[in-house]
Amino acid sequence: MIGRLNHVAIAVADLGKATQTYAGTLGAKVSKPHIVAEHGVTVVFVELPNTKIELLEPYGDSSPIAGFVEKNPAGGIHHLCYEVEDIFAARDRLKAEGARVLGDGEPKIGAHGKPVLFLHPKDFCGALIELEQA
């Protein structure tokens, strides 16, 4: 069901500093910051030959990653994003298998402008999983 790894997301307290680390220190190509208000984050994407790294910074008072960054002030891996061909079919199959879809279970538009869902980390070896329609 899952396709390629779309990105690994790293939550950070200071997006500018993290961008400098990837662009300056590591010499990576990094996108401009993009606010995704519906998800409460500001993001940049680090372009790699085989995937992307998404750097996330909390945006707004009710950011769902604010607590994560508080507990991990130096930053940390937040989630893995896999592509799926049909997000509704994937959701229905996962729910039938007993997996928990976070939120109201309906896809929302993610940072790439495509539908996404998040899956409970307790159902996936402790990793928060994002599914994105390819």
Q: Which residues are catalytic?
A: 130
Q: Is 84 exposed, middle or buried (0-12, 13-18, 19+ CB in 10 A)?
A: buried
Asked whether 103 and 27 are in contact (CB, 8 A), the reply is no
CA distance 54 to 5: 12
Please enumerate in sequence order all residues whose Cβ is within 8 A of that of 67, keeping only pairs 6 or more positions apart, or say none.
none
Tokens representing residue 66 in the block:
């604010």
